[in-house]
């Protein structure tokens, strides 16, 4: 048995992640590619949006003051001096006192007008004359030039998340590419002499690789691009070679599941140590499941050794790899770096051992007084209980367990 280094707490390891890894260098990307990404520049508007004052209604452009006092019983008369054709400049139309121009929703207000009377409040008298039966205030039914965004205005702060509406703003300003942090590339390696790929019928003594599929899906849910590197049998040279290949992809994060413990067949630590400039940040973390976890850093890239048992690997992914991938994507807010969480009452007594934080798979159900977390039991080598779970209930490090109906934090599974 090789010894573990001193176990780190979850907090210590999560701090290591924030301290040792940075957002990936930003790249110019199309708006399509930028959805959900974090912008890496302040975006200043190069122009006014809209570029001219626009009508928000179908009606007549007027100078508001000419409508003051108009009512159903005492309508105001206007001479109609033209029509603003849609998508055309209203050049040549100049609204004088007592004059109006036909205008459509989205049309540019002609010179001399500052408001639009809705067509519903007008009545044609003859070909060139209308009655207006309601007064309008200046700027009524108008979006002014620059009212949405002014030229020189900062529309996006570096660090903002690009949602549909932020992409809409960029499109509206003619900005069709933006500097943002790209998706990290995650190389996924499964280790174990007993593994065969999922599409292969295992001979006696072997089983199919579950971790590659599970970790690949979790990586995608965290916004990253997974690359499946296949199965490496348990030998030091093969694993070192696989890590080297992964870094050459280049991968930003290399995940190795299995072989991260301290047994004589556990080569992950050695393989990471053999990577050029690698620095081991942690070997062993005081969470259950998940104790045999390795985190190393090499030239800004991360090497993570996860337990071979699938439920343990998933917990370690969610606690450490998920925030690592979010960090690399430039997210800074705690709300984005971790899983969403809720409070729930546990449905039964559950004993735990102090000295480590325990993550219990739970199903969430709602009763009259709120959320109830029902433990889903099963060894950490099993995948099926994880599919019965909605979240991970956190039993604090110094606790001997929870009594039925005690409230605890539940991290929601993605």
| 172 lines the binding site for its own copies (CB under 8 A) | yes
Q: Which stretch binds its own copies (CB under 8 A): 65-73, 79-87, 273-281, 367-375?
A: 79-87
Q: Which is nearer to its own copies, 196 or 298 (CB)?
A: 196
DSSP class of 119: G
| 248 lines the binding site for its own copies (CB under 8 A) | no
Q: Minimum distance between the CB of residue 28 and its own copies, rounded to whole angstroms? A: 14
In whole angstroms, give the CA distance from residue 345 to residue 151: 53
| 171 lines the binding site for its own copies (CB under 8 A) | yes
What is the separation of C-alpha 277 from the centre of its chain, rounded to a whole number of angstroms? 31
| 193 lines the binding site for its own copies (CB under 8 A) | yes
Q: Minimum distance between the CB of residue 374 and its own copies, rounded to whole angstroms? A: 17
Within 95-124, which residues bind its own copies (CB under 8 A)?
104-108, 119-120
Q: Which is nearer to its own copies, 5 or 104 (CB)?
A: 104
118 neighbors 56 (Cβ within 8 angstroms) = no
Q: Minimum distance between the CB of residue 298 and its own copies, rounded to whole angstroms? A: 27
Q: Which stretch binds its own copies (CB under 8 A): 4-12, 205-213, 320-328, 350-358?
A: 205-213
**The only residue of 308, 330, 375, 391 in contact with its own copies, by rule CB under 8 A:** 308
Q: Which stretch binds its own copies (CB under 8 A): 143-151, 181-189, 325-333, 395-403?
A: 143-151
End-to-end CA distance of the chain: 36
Residue 81 host element (H or E): strand 76-83
214 neighbors 178 (Cβ within 8 angstroms) = no
**The only residue of 6, 22, 91, 349 in contact with its own copies, by rule CB under 8 A:** 91
Within 250-289, which residues bind its own copies (CB under 8 A)?
261, 263-265
Strands (DSSP E) found in 113-233: 115-118, 122-126, 129-132, 142-143, 154-156, 177-180, 185-191, 195-196, 207-208, 225-232
| 241 lines the binding site for its own copies (CB under 8 A) | no
- In the structure, how many helices (H) and strands (E) does the chain have? 10, 28
| 42 lines the binding site for its own copies (CB under 8 A) | no
118 neighbors 130 (Cβ within 8 angstroms) = no
| 391 lines the binding site for its own copies (CB under 8 A) | no
Residues with Cβ within 8 Å of 387's Cβ and at least 6 positions away in sequence, in order, are none
């Amino acid at each position: 048995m090789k010894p573990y280094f001193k176990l780190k707490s979850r907090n210590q390891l999560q701090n290591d992640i924030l301290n040792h890894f940075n957002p990936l260098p930003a790249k110019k990307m199309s708006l399509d590619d930028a959805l959900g990404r974090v912008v890496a520049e302040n975006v200043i508007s190069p122009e006014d949006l809209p570029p001219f004052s626009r009508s928000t209604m179908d009606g007549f452009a007027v100078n508001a003051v000419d409508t003051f006092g108009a009512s159903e019983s005492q309508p105001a008369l206007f001479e109609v001096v033209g029509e603003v054709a849609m998508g055309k400049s209203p050049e040549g139309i100049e609204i004088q006192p007592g004059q109006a121009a036909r205008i459509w929703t989205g049309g540019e207000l002609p010179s001399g007008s500052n408001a639009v009377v809705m067509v519903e409040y007008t009545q044609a008298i003859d070909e060139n004359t209308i009655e207006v039966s309601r007064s309008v205030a200046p700027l009524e039914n108008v979006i002014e030039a620059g009212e949405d965004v002014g030229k020189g205005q900062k529309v996006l702060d570096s660090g903002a998340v690009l949602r549909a509406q932020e992409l809409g703003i960029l499109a509206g300003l003619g900005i069709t590419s933006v500097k943002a942090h790209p998706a990290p590339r995650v190389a996924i390696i499964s280790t174990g002499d007993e593994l065969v790929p999922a599409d292969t019928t295992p001979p006696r003594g072997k089983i199919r690789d579950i971790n590659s599929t599970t970790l690949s899906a979790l990586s995608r849910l965290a916004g990253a691009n997974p690359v499946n590197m296949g199965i490496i049998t348990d030998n030091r040279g093969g694993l070192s070679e696989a890590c080297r290949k992964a870094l050459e992809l280049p991968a930003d994060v290399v995940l190795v599941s299995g072989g991260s413990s301290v047994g004589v067949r556990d080569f992950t630590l050695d393989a990471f140590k053999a990577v050029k400039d690698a620095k081991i940040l942690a070997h062993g973390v005081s969470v259950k499941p998940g104790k045999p976890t390795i985190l190393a850093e090499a030239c800004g890239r991360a090497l993570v050794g996860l337990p071979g048992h699938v439920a343990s690997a998933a917990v370690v992914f969610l606690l450490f790899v998920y925030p690592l991938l979010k960090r690399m994507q430039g997210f800074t807010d705690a709300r984005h770096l971790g899983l969403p969480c809720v409070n729930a009452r546990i449905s039964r007594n559950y004993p735990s051992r102090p000295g480590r934080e325990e993550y219990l798979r739970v199903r969430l159900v709602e009763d009259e007084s709120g959320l109830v977390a029902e433990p889903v039991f099963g060894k950490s080598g099993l995948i099926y209980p994880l599919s019965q779970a909605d979240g991970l209930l956190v039993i604090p490090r110094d606790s001997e367990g929870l009594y039925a109906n005690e409230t605890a934090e539940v991290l929601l599974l993605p």
